[in-house]
Amino acid sequence: MPRIAPLVAGDPDHLGSFRLSGRIGEGGQGIVYLGVNDEGERAAIKLLHVKFSGDTIARSRFARELKAAQRVASFCTARVIEADLDGDTPYIASEYIDGRALRDLVDADGPLTGTALDRLAIGTATALTAIHHASIIHRDFKPDNVLIAADGPRVVDFGIARIIDSTGTITSRAIGTPAYMAPEQIAGDDIGPYTDVFSWGATIAFAATGETVFEGKSIAVVLNRILNHEVDVDMMPEPLRSVVSSALAKSPAERPSADQILLRLLGQSSTAGASTAVLTKGVQLAGDDTTPFIRVSAGSITDHPSRRASAVPTHQGPSDGTGHHAAAGRQAGTGWSATGHAVTGTGTGTGAEPGTGAGHSTTGQSPATGHQRAGQQTVPPGESGPPPGEAGPPEGGGPPYPAEESAAPGRRGRAKAWAAAAIVLVLVAAAAVAAMMNGWLQLPFGGMPEPSVDSSRLTVVDKVAGTGRIVIGVRGDLPGVGLRNGDGFDGFDVDIAREVAAELGAKETKFVQVSRADRAEALEKGQVDLVVAAYSIDKGRTQFAGPYYLAHRDLLVRADSGFDTIADLKGEKVCAASSSSLGEVQEKVTVEPVPASDYAACMDLLRSGKVAAVPGEDVVLAGFAQRESMRYKILGAKLNNERYAVGIRNGDVKTCKAVKAVIADLYARGVVKRLLTSRFGRVDFEMELKVPAMETC
Q: Which residues of 567-579 are buried (b: 16+ CB within 10 A; e: fewer)?
A: eebeebbbbbbbe
Residue 348, pLDDT score: 39
pLDDT higher for 152 or 409?
A: 152
Gap between the Cα atoms of 14 and 82, Å rounded: 13
The whole-number average pLDDT for the span 63-77 is 61
pLDDT band at 289 (very low <50, low <70, confident <90, very high): low
Q: Which of 151-155, 158-162, 193-197, 393-397 has the weakest average pLDDT?
A: 393-397
**Residues 252-281: tens digit of each pLDDT:** 999 999 999 999 999 888 777 777 788 888
**Highest mean pLDDT: which of 178-182, 203-207, 685-689?**
203-207
User: Of the ranges 50-64, 235-249, 577-591, which one carries the lowest mean pLDDT score?
Assistant: 50-64
Question: Given 98, 104, 118, 140, which residue is catalytic?
Answer: 140
Domain 552-642: CATH superfamily, name plus number: Periplasmic binding protein-like II (3.40.190.10)
Q: 237, 383 in Cβ contact below 8 A?
A: yes
- State the pLDDT at residue 68: 56
360-389: pLDDT as tens digits: 443 333 333 333 333 333 333 233 333 333
User: pLDDT value at position 64?
Assistant: 61
CA-to-CA separations, 31 to 11, 44, 519, in angstroms, rounded: 10, 10, 46
Mean pLDDT of the chain: 74
Whole-number Cα distances in Å, 535 to 546, 577, 585, 620 = 11, 19, 22, 12
**Edge-to-edge strand list for the sheet holding 30-36:** 14-15, 18-26, 30-36, 42-48, 91-95, 80-84
Q: For the domain bounded by 14-95, which CATH number is listed?
A: 3.30.200.20
The residue ranking higher by pLDDT, 695 or 369, is 695
Q: Is 241 strand, coil or helix?
A: helix
DSSP 8-state secondary structure symbol assigned to residue 312: P
Q: Does the pLDDT at position 236 exceed 90? A: yes
Q: Which of 89-98, 156-165, 462-471 has the highest mean pLDDT?
A: 462-471
Q: What pLDDT does 272 receive?
A: 72
Q: How far is CA 530 from the centre of its chain?
A: 18
Of 500, 496, 530, residue with least CA distance to 512:
530
Mean pLDDT is lowest, of 84-93, 196-205, 546-555, 671-680, for 84-93
Check if 140 is active-site: yes
Q: Which fold has domain 455-548+643-680?
A: D-Maltodextrin-Binding Protein; domain 2 (3.40.190)
CA R_g for the chain: 27
Say yes or no to pLDDT of 35 above 80.
yes
Q: Concatenated DSSP letters for 461-526? A: HHHHHHHSEEEEEE-SEETTTEEEETTEEESHHHHHHHHHHHHTT-SEEEEEE--TTTHHHHHHTT
Predicted pLDDT of residue 78: 76
Lowest mean pLDDT among 380-394, 538-552, 617-631: 380-394
**Model confidence at 245, in pLDDT bands (50, 70, 90)?**
very high
Domain coordinates in residue numbering, the chain: 14-95, 100-309, 412-451, 455-548+643-680, 552-642
pLDDT at residue 5 in the model: 86
Note the pLDDT of residue 99. Answer: 85
pLDDT at 678 over 90: yes
Per-residue pLDDT, averaged over 582-603, amounts to 90
What confidence category does residue 579 fall into, taking pLDDT thresholds of 50, 70 and 90?
Answer: low
Report the pLDDT value the prediction gives residue 323, as an integer from 0 to 100. Answer: 33
**Nearest of 361, 366, 416 to residue 394 by alpha carbon:** 416
Distance (Å, rounded) from C-alpha 514 to C-alpha 521? Answer: 10
- Whether 592 shows a pLDDT value over 90: the answer reads yes
Q: Name which residue leads in pLDDT, 59 or 437.
A: 59
Tell me the per-residue pLDDT of 327-344, one tens digit each, with 9 for 90 and over: 333 222 222 223 333 444
Q: Which of 599, 598, 621, 628 is nearest to 687 (CA)?
A: 621
Euclidean distance between CA atoms 39 and 92, whole angstroms: 18
Cβ 198 vs Cβ 182: under 8 Å: yes
Q: Could you tell me the pLDDT band of residue 29, with boundaries at 50, 70 and 90?
A: low
What's residue 530's pLDDT?
Answer: 97
pLDDT band at 429 (very low <50, low <70, confident <90, very high): very low
For residues 426-445, give the mean pLDDT. Answer: 35
* Domain 455-548+643-680 matches domain 552-642 at the CATH topology level: yes
CATH topology of domain 100-309: Transferase(Phosphotransferase); domain 1 (1.10.510)
End-to-end CA distance of the chain: 27
pLDDT, residue 336, reads 27
Residue pair 38/31 in contact by the 8 Å Cβ criterion: no
Is 65 in contact with 80 (CB distance < 8 Å)? no
pLDDT band at 573 (very low <50, low <70, confident <90, very high): very high
* Burial per residue of 233-255, b for 16 or more beta-carbon CB atoms within 10 angstroms, e otherwise: beebbbbbbbbbbbbbbeebebb
pLDDT confidence of residue 544: 94
Pseudo-torsion of CA 231, 232, 236, 239, nearest 10°?
Answer: 60
Residues 380 and 443: beta-carbon distance below 8 Å: yes
H or E, element range at 302: none
Q: Residue range 625-636: average pLDDT?
A: 94
Average pLDDT over residues 587-610: 92
Average pLDDT (136-145) is: 87
The pLDDT assigned to 2 comes to 43
Taking residues 484-505, report their average pLDDT.
93
Rounded to an integer, the average pLDDT of 572-576 is 93
Region 157-177: what's the mean pLDDT?
Answer: 46
What pLDDT, in 10s, does the model give residues 473-487?
Answer: 999 999 999 999 888
The confidence score (pLDDT) of residue 54 equals 52
Report the alpha-carbon distance of residue 406 to residue 412 in Å, rounded: 12
Percent of the chain exceeding pLDDT 70 equals 67
pLDDT in the model for residue 155? 86
